[in-house]
Each structure stands twice: as structure tokens, then as C-alpha cells.
Amino acid sequence: MFKRLLALPAPGHQTFFLWGPRQTGKTTLLRATYPDAFWIDLLKADEFRRYLQNPELLREQLAARDSVRQVVIDEVQKVPQLLDEVHWLHERQAVRFALCGSSARKVKRGQANLLGGRAVRYELHGLTAREIGKEFNLNRMLNHGYLPTIYLSDRPRPLLEGYVGDYLKEEVAAEGLVRNLPVYSEFLNMAALSDTELVNFSTIARDCGVSSHTIKGYFQILEDTLLGRWLPAYTKRPKRRVIAAPKFYFADIGVVNHLARRGDLHPGSELYGKAFENWVFHELAAHNAYSGAFAKLSYWRLTSGNEVDFIVNDMEAAIEAKATAKVTSDHLKGLRAVAEDHPRIKQRIVVSLERTSRRTEDGILIVPAVEFCGRLSAGDFF
């Protein structure tokens, strides 16, 4: 069992939402943290039906028990009406709740009770290098993805096939998120090709035979179901014209590999480099969430083509992901260009496959991937 870096509140201390993609280990983490909690699992058909028909049953059940300090509701988005009962019990009975789910869409769009800001929001990402520890294998992670069960499997492809199928059946079809499931399924394959890139809605719409408006809605579903996220562009005080559109990143590279039919990825290939960039963003996002840094992550790109993959806050750090064992001057063009436009930038880093770290004459730090993860966790970069 992996020791996850997300620290949850002690039992009975805080009501919170715990969101995260399917199979990231939310339930496992909650059971380890709250072994004595009163547990409601809405994945069980009988429990789902009972609470859907009678949300007040939660209040009645707790009234029959002495001094319940902690309640866990797994897949809370399936019965948003329960949140009214949670609100009342939190205020009147001082009961604390862990509200877990893999999709906030139904909760947000259904105008459900979000507890008036009383509940903190946590997010559990897939596995990070630090959580895996000494057994971390970059090639395995870039091919298998970040989901614990699939990362550990020697046969990830059937599991990824099942994962996507369950997502379509349980997250999309069961919640009635789209009218045409076959088109949405085809959209997933097309969207995977846009991972780490600017998204051309018109091209995807033409290939799927729907409108650009529909495709934008489909990307919103991916975001709401936590299967992907946008990375905004850094546009503050540009000296030269910059790209302002966001880039899209899937939450798990294994899912991308499966949807895009990539096959095995090997160092030196273009697709390996794209997967490596997705992984670096994954490590940055997880560290940002777990450390409580609340940093703003973005990317920077000139219309002329020079680009930096990741900008932290207001030029606190600029980070490039380069899946190469030999970083050359050509790989540093973006970092040198951003320093020309923003000379106050504090750090410039290249995450690479080189074996040892080094620093160029103009101050760019080049670090091996594993060392980057250690220094990131230590707070060296933000």
C-alpha cells in the first residue's frame, strides 16, 4: 500500500469534500484515515436507493447512535439531496463529514447545497514519484499511468479499457451528461490527441460530426468529472505578442495512451516526450494541492513559437519538460526568451533524462526527473 501525501483532517475535526478521478485511491485513503467512521457507500445499489428516496434517513440513523464524530459519504454526487442533511447535522449536531466523489458536475449544476463555504475542498491525484518511493519507474509510469492498480499491473491495457468503459457507463451515461454516447466516446479518442496542446475545437467538431459548441461542452464534462484540466496562458505585461488560449491536460497519461492508441512508449520518441510533459504537470499539480502552496500554474508562448511549458505564479519559476538525455541550447530557447521579456524571473529549470544535475552559464538549472521530484517536494521551486 502506498503512503499518500495528501494529509486529511483528524477524525471529528473538519467537514470536507474529497474529489479525485476514479480509482485514484480516495476510498482506500478514507478507510485508512477514518477506520471507525460511520460509512455510507452510494456505489451500493441498495444504499443508493434508500438515501435517494429518503435523505432524512441519514439524520435518523445518526440520532440512534451515540456520539458519532465522523461520517464518510462515498460518491456523494449520486445523491446531492444528502447535502442538506449534512449541512444541518454539521451545524446542529457538530458531526463532521468526509464527502467523497469523482465528479462535482451534478453537485454544481444541480444547485446542491455546498455547505456555504463550511467544507474545505481536497483533491487526490494519481500516484506521484515520491509516493511510490524507491520503486518508482518512469518508463512504467509513462506507459501505465498514475492510477495505483493500473500502475502496478503487468497487463495495464485491459484495465485501461475497463476504466474508460466504466467512465462512459457510470460517470457519463448514468448521470445523463450527454445525449449521444457514441459521439462522446469518439470525442474522447480525438481529445486524447490534444493532450498537452492547444485545443482546436473546430477540427475535433468536424471529425466528430457535431458543433464546436458541443465539443466545448464535452471538454467541460472532462473537467467536471476530473478526467482533465486546463492550463491557462501567462499573458501578464508581455513585451511581445503571446498566445492567450489555454492548453488541456488529461489527469492520467495511461488513459491518454489508451484513447490515442499509442502502444508502448520508448525514450527518444515524440510521444514519449508528450507523455513526459503530462507527467511533469501531474507532479506539479499534485505538489501544489498537497503542499497547500496554492500556486498559480500557467504556460508561456510567443506567437513566434518560443514556449515555456510551465510558469509558477508571477514568474517565480519557469519549468521546461524535456525527455532527453542530453539537453542542448536548442532545448533552452524558450527559457532564454522568457528571461528577455521577464528579467525578474527567479528560477529557470529543465526537467530532463540527464543523469546528474548541472547549471548553465546563464543560470538555467538542468535536473534529472527523479531529482526534480525530490526538490519539488522539498519546496525548492515553490
The Cα–Cα gap between 300 and 309 comes to 7
Q: Say what the pLDDT of residue 170 is.
A: 83
- pLDDT tens digits, one per residue of 189-214: 999 999 999 999 999 999 999 999 99
Whether residue 49 contacts residue 79, with contact meaning beta carbons closer than 8 Å, is answered with no
* 366 strand-pairing partners: 350, 358
Take residue 203 and report the three cell numbers written for it: 477540427
Residue 228, C-beta contacts closer than 8 angstroms, at least 6 positions apart: 191, 219, 222, 248, 249, 250, 251
- Judged on CB neighbours under 10 Å (0-12, 13-18, 19+), 356 is exposed
Q: How do 365-368 and 348-352 pair as beta strands?
A: parallel
Half-sphere exposure for 373 (CA within 13 Å, toward CB): 20
Residue 117 reports pLDDT greater than 90: no
The Cα–Cα gap between 229 and 237 comes to 25
Q: How far is the CA of 291 from the CAs of 8, 231, 325, in angstroms?
A: 12, 19, 30
User: Which pLDDT band holds residue 38 (cuts at 50, 70, 90)?
Assistant: very high
In CATH terms, 16-123 corresponds, of 3.40.50.10860, 3.30.1110.20, 3.40.50.800, 3.40.50.300, to: 3.40.50.300
- pLDDT tens digits, one per residue of 81-100: 999 999 999 988 989 999 99
- More confidently predicted of 36 and 238: 36
Whether residue 304 contacts residue 338, with contact meaning beta carbons closer than 8 Å, is answered with no
- pLDDT tens digits, one per residue of 49-58: 999 999 999 9
- pLDDT tens digits, one per residue of 259-312: 999 999 999 999 999 999 999 999 999 999 999 999 999 999 999 889 999 999
Q: Say what the pLDDT of residue 119 is.
A: 79
Q: Say what the pLDDT of residue 73 is.
A: 97
Q: Say what the pLDDT of residue 122 is.
A: 95
Residue 46, C-beta contacts closer than 8 angstroms, at least 6 positions apart: none
User: Which pLDDT band holds residue 169 (cuts at 50, 70, 90)?
Assistant: confident
Q: Say what the pLDDT of residue 250 is.
A: 98
Q: How far is the CA of 9 from the CAs of 52, 72, 95, 121, 122, in angstroms?
A: 28, 13, 14, 12, 10
Q: Say what the pLDDT of residue 108 is.
A: 64
Question: Is the pTM here over 0.75, yes or no?
Answer: yes
The Cα–Cα gap between 131 and 140 comes to 15
**Any idea where the domains of the chain sit in the sequence?**
16-123, 129-377
